[in-house]
Amino acid sequence: MWPIFDYGRFVSIISSSDVYGVVWMRSLAQLHKMANLRVLVGVKRVIDYAVKIRVKPDNSGVVTDGVKHSMNPFCEIAMEEAVRLKEKKLAKEIIAVSCGPAQAQETIRTALAMGADRGIHVEVTGKEYENMTPLHVSKIMAKLAQDQEANLVILGKQSIDGDNNQTGQMTAALLDWPQATFASEVTKENDHLKVVREIDGGLETVKVTLPAVITADLRLNEPRYATLPNIMKAKKKKIAKHKAADFGVDLTPTLEVVGVEDPPVRQAGQKVESTEELVAKLKDSGVV
Amino acid sequence: MLSTGKLRPTLGLVRRPWCASAAGIHSSGRRLHNPDEVDLFDFRYTTPFVKNLFVGKFIREQVFPFPRLNQQDYDQLQQMVDPVERFFKDDVDSAQIDTDAKIPAETLQGLKDLGLFGMQVPLEYGGLGLSNTEYARLGEITAIDGAIAVTLAAHQAIGLKGIMIAGNAEQKAKYLPKLATGEHVAAFALTEPSSGSDAASIQTRATLSDSGKHFLLNGGKIWISNGGIADVFTVFAKTEVVDSKSGEVKDKVTAFIVERSFGGITSGKPEDKLGIRGSNTCTVHFEDTPVPIENVLGEVGGGFKVAMNILNGGRFSMGSSGAGIVKKLIEQTAEHATTRTQFDRKLMEFPIIQEKFAEMALRAYAMESMAYLTAGIMDRWPGGSPDCSVEAAMVKVYSSESVWSSVSEALQVLGGLGYMKEYPYERYLRDARILMIFEGTNEILRMYIALVGMKFAGDILKEKLKELKRGNIGVILQTVRQRWGSGFGMGPSHGFVSEDRFIGDGFKAHPSLTAGAKLLEENVNNLGTMTETLLARHGKGIVEEQLVLKRVADITINMYAMTAVVSRASKAVVMGLPNYDHEVLMANTFCQKTYNENMQMFHDLGGENTDAAVQKIGKDILKTGNYIAAHPLDRTHDFDNIDVVPPQR
């Protein structure tokens, strides 16, 4: 009577007070035609990769005022992947999400110009934003994924300011969804996704059932430019505004940044003429 | 607190007492697109700014406050700037384009995909519908590669502009959509071997066929940008026009939209140029090309005006493009100046080097201020379409010469390195040279500026003269007061500097710019008197006095630059933009320097100058056809005895 039943989806849908019958129909639909993915993509506003970073004089952080910001490069790759899924008719809707101050809307607009259908801005400002960690973000993403009834969440593998590489993994855990991180290739096969992952030892291919969380790595794709006509069309797309509290997420900091410093200036190297000299120098410095 | 004791108005709601536009609502209840749009029926808006300077009138409402975009448009513009900048940084290899003398097909396609081929084409025809201001902003980025900038400009600023401004609905609907996406490329075909600056003397002919259904086009055009790759040409040719009143048959210029597919069109091979080598420039020949009469642009015989309107409209963007290049060069060159050490000091510590950078920065500041001021006047003019051709011409002249000198200075800072092909400076220099030549040579534009201004002044003075002759007391008193006042150097105050910390009714400069603004005021008075003097002295013959007109043009260009710079710095202070004190310093310094130049020129105009002598030398040389003076070493036989012998005392 019940073909392969998606318990996870069942629970999440029941918890969002959906109608039981619809659940069953949805599961069936999902079985036969997993073509209609609703994709949630996280996009983060970070300092532009080309900018020379400067540490604040009081060592409390880096200078962000008046500095050029743009979308995190890995988030761009995530967005591009979502758009390609839509072009292949595998995804039916793409929702771009960003947590941050008012300027985060610019990043969402860029995502809309790349091809997202609508945006969600979770407004977090000031000290709360400075102390926001991947755990906070992943709680918001998880709740959003449930509320929006997404069945695929694509995130960048890490942000170039935090370099945490945690949000994707935590989101999957909170949702109890499978995860495929460091994706360099994503292919849809019937009811699951085949993902090639770039790991230290080489390439690993995994299959994940849907719904799932994917984090994008560098070679997944080459993101398109947001063309000017698309930027103008994106004006008409909607961005919904929310606060973290709307999702029942408490932004009390769990971490405290004690200090931020420049990396030590690299010492000049020394040239040696022979291996004997090398060994002698190493012995002198106490390394050997 | 304030010396006047007035209550301080909140910056966001600067009140303009004679219209309610402060809140963004016109008095008629219509929502204003631009926060600075003002009442249409005010007499001050009869003619744009610069011509009024010639009669000593400074209409401050037209140039204060400095034009700005509303927040929404500004955000959207910022969004558009990013992908374009990235494209030019990552996917455009200017050095390769210059060496190959060709823009690669993928780069061209990338530009088309980005939407850069239809920036000002209206939205309904598939373009981006950008205003002049937004177009100027994107021009700053495309200028990074000269060849691409010229290809884009030839396509849209002149190539398809004719269809946009003079085309009827059918022509627009037929041609604009494909031109906007770049599927078809456009070109502007006016210049001929015997007709460059003298555009009215073209010889290409269009004769009406016997059926009356089409024209046959015959002739040849040279130096047509995009000539080899264009699908749609705006061609200017002479047609026979019968004067409806006199029945006389005259030859007049008509503009046509000509498709390459009409047949009989051949393009020559691309010209090998000094600069902008990636831009396709070639001859285009028409041999019995049939052009349907539906493709006449505007009216038969009205082509010259169409050409002038097209060319006048696009010139102002050279200010922002030029500033884009110079700003980028300042950054690159500064890196060299801050790291290079000679005589145990960094280059940046030497005053001569500091002066070079200051000069470049001041010129860039003036160029972009003028460009955006002009664009803003055009965009926010109530009712649209003001005649800003003189302003645009001024921007073009100033910018082309400033870019040339700035690039040269930047190259100089690098010394020998700047001369090497490894570095981009020589390419920028070569690309910049064309700026003074095309889109109207600077010489022609100077004459245009001076003559249009003089004519405007002349017409007004004629009216005044009539009134004086009629014995109109008011006018007599006014004239006397003006003359007397100007004689003492205290002409009528234009009152465009605000006395209190805040800018009063919004149409004044901030007090921190008093130094520069006062100099500008003085120059405005001087110009008013000088124009009258010159017209009295030369009358109609002033048309031939090119050296006089050249000085007048230079003076007014400088004054427009001063105005733009003061207005912009004012805005920076009032808005509290970062580094506004630097801008104030630049603005005041610029005004002082330009004032000094102007005073020298006023002096030459008023009194003795070397014009007659210079003209004689020039004429003599041209008559002989070469340098006349004898060689320094030349001697004659007879004078052997009069070799240098010290006088016997």
How many other CB atoms are there within 10 angstroms of residue B25's CB atom?
Answer: 13
> At B551, which helix (H) or strand (E)?
helix B546-575
- For residue A75, pLDDT over 70 is answered with yes
- For residue B498, pLDDT over 80 is answered with no
Quickly tell me which residue has 């009577």 as its tokens: A1
Would you call B463 a catalytic residue per the annotation? no
Q: How far apart are CA B534 and CA B540, in angstroms?
A: 10
> Which of B71, B73, B77, B114 to mutate to test binding with chain A, by most A CBs within 10 Å of its CB?
B114
Q: How far apart are CA B328 and CA B320, in angstroms?
A: 12
Mode of pairing for the β-strands spanning A212-216 and B205-208: unpaired
Q: How far apart are CA A257 and CA B306, in angstroms?
A: 66
Q: Are B482 and B491 in contact, with CB atoms under 8 Å apart?
A: yes
Listed by number, the residues of chain B in 551-610 with a beta carbon closer than 8 Å to a beta carbon of chain A are 578
Band the pLDDT of B506: cuts 50, 70, 90: low
Q: How far apart are CA A71 and CA A226, in angstroms?
A: 12
- For residue A45, pLDDT over 90 is answered with yes
pLDDT digits (tens, 9 = 90+) for A145-188: 999 999 999 999 999 999 999 999 999 999 999 999 999 999 99
pLDDT of residue A191: 83
> How near does any CA of chain A get to the CA of B78, in Å?
9
pLDDT of residue B540: 86
Q: How far apart are CA B375 and CA B393, in angstroms?
A: 13
- The full length of chain A comes to 288
Q: Running DSSP on this structure, what letter comes out for residue B221?
A: E
Six-digit token pair at A216?
């994008």
Quickly tell me which residue has 């302003």 as its tokens: B391
Q: How far apart are CA B642 and CA A100, in angstroms?
A: 92
B124 touches chain A (CB under 8 A): no
From residue B291, give the alpha-carbon distance in Å to each of B161, B182, B232, B258, B310.
Answer: 19, 23, 12, 6, 21
Phi, psi for residue B29 in degrees, rounded to 5? 95, -5
Q: Running DSSP on this structure, what letter comes out for residue B153?
A: I
Q: How far apart are CA B369 and CA B354, in angstroms?
A: 22
Q: Are B604 and B533 in contact, with CB atoms under 8 Å apart?
A: no
Cα atoms in the 13 Å half-sphere on the side-chain side of B105 = 2
- Give the start-end residues of each E strand in B451-594: none
Beta bridge partners of A205: A196
Six-digit token pair at B135?
């177009």
The interface predicted TM-score (ipTM) is: 0.77
Burial A90-128 (b: 16+ CB within 10 A, else e): bbebbbbbbbbeeebbbbbbbbbbbbbbbbbbbbbeeee
Q: Are B392 and B450 in contact, with CB atoms under 8 Å apart?
A: no
Kindly determine whether residue A110 and residue B87, on different chains, have CB atoms separated by under 8 Å: no
- For residue B38, pLDDT over 60 is answered with no
- Give the start-end residues of each E strand in A161-201: 179-189, 192-199
Kindly determine whether residue B87 and residue A225, on different chains, have CB atoms separated by under 8 Å: yes
Query: DSSP of A67-110, one letter per residue?
Result: --EEE-HHHHHHHHHHHHHHHTTSEEEEEEEEEESTTHHHHHHH
pLDDT digits (tens, 9 = 90+) for A188-237: 988 899 999 999 999 999 999 999 999 999 999 999 989 999 998 998 99
Query: What is the percent of chain B with per-residue pLDDT over 70, rounded to a whole number?
Result: 87
Q: Give which of B188, B415, B418 is closest to B303, Cα–Cα.
A: B188
- For residue B499, pLDDT over 80 is answered with no
Angle, CA of A109, A241 and A106, to the nearest 5°: 20
- Which of B73-82, B460-469, B479-488 is the least confident region? B479-488
- For residue A18, pLDDT over 50 is answered with no
Identity of residue B631 = H
Judging by beta carbons within 10 Å of its beta carbon (0-12, 13-18, 19+), is residue B275 exposed, middle or buried? Answer: buried
pLDDT of residue B434: 95
Give the nearest partner residue to B114 out of A66, A225, A232, using CB atoms.
Answer: A225
Beta bridge partners of A71: A45
Band the pLDDT of B321: cuts 50, 70, 90: very high
- Which of B9-23, B81-95, B192-206, B276-290 is the least confident region? B9-23
pLDDT of residue A35: 59
Kindly determine whether residue B79 and residue A109, on different chains, have CB atoms separated by under 8 Å: yes
pLDDT of residue B505: 56
Selected catalytic residue, list B368, B439, B521, B583: B439
A232 touches chain B (CB under 8 A): yes
Chain A residues inside the 8 Å CB shell of B113: 225, 227
Six-digit token pair at B572?
């920076």
pTM of the full predicted structure? 0.83
Q: Mean pLDDT, chain A, as a whole number?
A: 88
